[in-house]
A = this chain, B = another copy of it.
Amino acid sequence: MPTAAILIIGNEILSGRTKDANVAFLAERLGALGIPVREVRVVPDAEAEIVAAVNALRERYAYVFTTGGIGPTHDDITAACIAKAFDAALERNPQAVTLLENHYEPGQLNEARLRMANIPAGGILIDNPVSKAPGFQIGNVFVLPGVPCIMQAMFDGLTGRLQGGPPVLSRTVTCLLPEGRIATELSAVQDRHPTVEIGSYPYLRNGQIGTSLVMRGTDPMAVEAAATAVADLTRAYGDDPVITPGANG
């Protein structure tokens, strides 16, 4: 099954100024495409860190998605770092220049903005339907912007390039039991359903303690069987569980 990693590039995430909103979006979409995300890293706007992370992740996972650092300012260094990671030249891409020329008013396409057309040699552009400055793909690495609404639009345009396995399915059993009460038997259910990943997530809502038990897997029958076994377990403890499709019941 092909797997993916996400590399978030940006000092603003590491300082706490900005809460990342891209991991959850990409992880959900990629899971549905049968490409589960297995690792995320956040690194600063620093060449050595970005190059090392890109090379570590692209070797290990079928796909790598980066977000951030492809704008026009001095702290936008992602394209240059990706070029370095691939030992490729950073070139002014004529197709990207045309996109920018068509987007900006006459006289507004200054040298800083033209930097957004610098793409590693061999890179294939990723269309930006929102603000035109493109992302790019090189090898198994997809380079996207950090602004969520733009990133999302660009991701939706590139999924045709991805080859996933069977989609990851999920069921959630929500009960009003503390997870510690059922933990031993839950572990036994997990052992009996080894192809399904069972996660236990406690919550406190309106003063009420409960647990969301999430079953994930690619075999619909196996996911269903595990969900039924977990629901039966909670019933044995006197609960009346709610079973919902998806991971957020």
On whether the beta carbons of B40 and A198 are closer than 8 Å, the reply is no
On whether the beta carbons of A216 and B40 are closer than 8 Å, the reply is no
On whether the beta carbons of B214 and A17 are closer than 8 Å, the reply is yes
- Interface range for A: 35 or more
Is A228's beta carbon under 8 Å from chain B? no
Is A49's beta carbon under 8 Å from chain B? yes
Closest approach, in angstroms, between the C-beta of A180 and any C-beta of chain B? 4
Q: A18-B201, A201-B18 are in contact. Are A44 and B40 (CB under 8 A)?
A: no
Determine which residue in A16, A23, A181 has the highest number of CB atoms from chain B within 10 A of its CB, and name it. A16
On whether the beta carbons of A201 and B74 are closer than 8 Å, the reply is no
On whether the beta carbons of B187 and A73 are closer than 8 Å, the reply is yes
Copies in the complex: 2
Q: Is the interface of A mostly helix, strand, loop or mixed?
A: mixed
On whether the beta carbons of B12 and A179 are closer than 8 Å, the reply is no
CB-defined A-B contacts under 8 Å, sample of 14: A12-B199, A16-B24, A17-B170, A17-B201, A17-B247, A17-B248, A38-B49, A39-B42, A39-B44, A40-B40, A40-B41, A73-B179, A74-B183, A75-B190
Identify which of A26-34, A81-89, A121-129, A155-163 touches chain B.
A26-34
On whether the beta carbons of A113 and B183 are closer than 8 Å, the reply is yes
Q: A71-B202, A74-B190, A199-B12 are in contact. Are A20 and B23 (CB under 8 A)?
A: yes
Beyond A73-B187, A108-B181, 19 additional pairs, beta carbon < 8 A: A15-B27, A15-B216, A16-B27, A17-B248, A19-B19, A19-B21, A19-B23, A19-B24, A20-B20, A23-B42, A41-B41, A71-B179, A71-B202, A72-B179, A73-B179, A74-B183, A75-B199, A110-B181, A111-B184
On whether the beta carbons of A27 and B11 are closer than 8 Å, the reply is no
On whether the beta carbons of A15 and B31 are closer than 8 Å, the reply is yes
